């Protein structure tokens, strides 16, 4: 049996499964499809023709542990999800997060509060995105990647499976850490290989390539391939591999003119 608040706004041709909870001031635009056992918290906006799988939770307010360094002093704004998105089974998207159009959030993914995610993004199965992360357009995050708080990822970045980003060189010890806490900054078109680790505050340059299994301890120059432990520059990234030289990118740019 469903609970749909009288204050919710339900568009035409919205389809819902069983045991769906839609709270006050939620907006479901035209053609939204919702699976079973879904909870949508107050004020969330779901763009037209978005598909939401079973057991999804959208707009959850964070509840930090007493010892957590994350402090929430007031309720965060509702979650907003753009049109034609796909939200997979058992995904959780916290409050204050905005997701653009035609983005896919796969099964079991978790997106924390105050994140900004662009258009045509793929968030793979089991990916964890912590709070205050910024992700551009056409980004691909493969299964089980961990994107820590305060990370920025520009357009067309590729993150392979099981990549780990970090933001605290002190690992929770001393007050000094708060002045230095910072996630990675990954520039346009960069690629980060499977099982690699990015240390706090690392900057990955435009179109750079981090080989699988690398541990990146210092900034990676643009258009360079690095590998190893610690990662060192091996060679240039061939121009034919640059995003700007790919047929899809060229076509998309021409269509925007």
Q: What is the mean pLDDT of the chain?
A: 96
At 221 the pLDDT is 98
Confidence of residue 171 (pLDDT cuts 50, 70, 90): confident
Give the DSSP per-residue string, 90-144: T-EEETT-EE-TT-EE-TT-EE-TT-EE-SS-EE-TT-EE-TT-EE-SS-EE-TT
By DSSP bridging, strand 86-87 and strand 146-147 are unpaired
Report the alpha-carbon distance of residue 114 to residue 133 in Å, rounded: 7
By DSSP bridging, strand 57-60 and strand 116-117 are unpaired
Torsional class of 144: left (φ above 0), alpha (ψ -120 to 50), beta (otherwise): left
When mean pLDDT is compared across 15-29, 90-104, 163-177, the lowest value belongs to: 163-177
pLDDT digit string, tens, across residues 26-79: 999 999 999 999 999 999 999 999 999 999 999 999 988 888 877 787 899 999
Stretch 71-100: mean pLDDT: 95
At 255 the pLDDT is 84
Report the alpha-carbon distance of residue 229 to residue 120 in Å, rounded: 33
Report the alpha-carbon distance of residue 51 to residue 15 in Å, rounded: 10
Torsional class of 145: left (φ above 0), alpha (ψ -120 to 50), beta (otherwise): beta
pLDDT digit string, tens, across residues 187-218: 999 999 999 999 999 999 999 999 999 999 99
At 184 the pLDDT is 98
Stretch 107-132: mean pLDDT: 98
DSSP 58: E
Domains and CATH numbers, the chain: 1-61+74-116 (2.160.10.10), 138-257 (2.160.10.10)
pLDDT of 95 over the 80 cut: yes
Confidence of residue 175 (pLDDT cuts 50, 70, 90): confident
Confidence of residue 249 (pLDDT cuts 50, 70, 90): very high
Main-chain phi, psi angles of 131, to 5 degrees: -65, 155
Stretch 113-123: mean pLDDT: 98
At 69 the pLDDT is 75
C-alpha 11 chain-centroid distance: 27
């Amino acid at each position: 049996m469903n609970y749909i608040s009288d204050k919710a706004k339900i568009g035409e041709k919205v389809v819902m499964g069983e045991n769906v909870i839609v709270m006050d001031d939620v907006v479901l635009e035209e053609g939204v499809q919702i699976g079973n056992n879904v909870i949508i918290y107050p004020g969330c906006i779901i763009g037209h023709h978005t598909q939401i799988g079973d057991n999804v939770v959208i707009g959850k307010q964070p509840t930090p542990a007493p010892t957590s360094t994350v402090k929430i002093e007031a309720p965060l704004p509702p979650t907003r999800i753009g049109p034609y998105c796909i939200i997979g089974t058992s995904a959780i998207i916290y409050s204050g997060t905005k997701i653009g159009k035609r983005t896919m959030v796969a099964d079991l993914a978790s997106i924390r509060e105050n994140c900004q995610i662009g258009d045509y993004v793929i968030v793979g199965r089991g990916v964890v995105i912590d709070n205050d992360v910024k992700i551009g357009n056409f980004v691909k995050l493969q299964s089980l990647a961990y994107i820590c708080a305060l990370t920025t990822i520009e357009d067309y970045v590729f993150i392979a499976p099981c990549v780990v980003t970090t933001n605290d060189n002190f690992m929770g010890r001393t007050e000094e850490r708060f002045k230095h806490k910072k996630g990675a900054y990954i520039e346009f078109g960069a690629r980060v290989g499977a099982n690699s680790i990015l240390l706090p505050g690392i900057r990955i340059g435009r179109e750079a390539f981090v080989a699988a299994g690398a541990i990146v301890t210092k900034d990676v120059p643009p258009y360079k391939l690095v590998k190893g432990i610690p990662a060192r520059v091996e060679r240039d990234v061939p121009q034919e591999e640059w995003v700007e030289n790919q047929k899809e990118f060229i076509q998309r740019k021409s269509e925007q003119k």
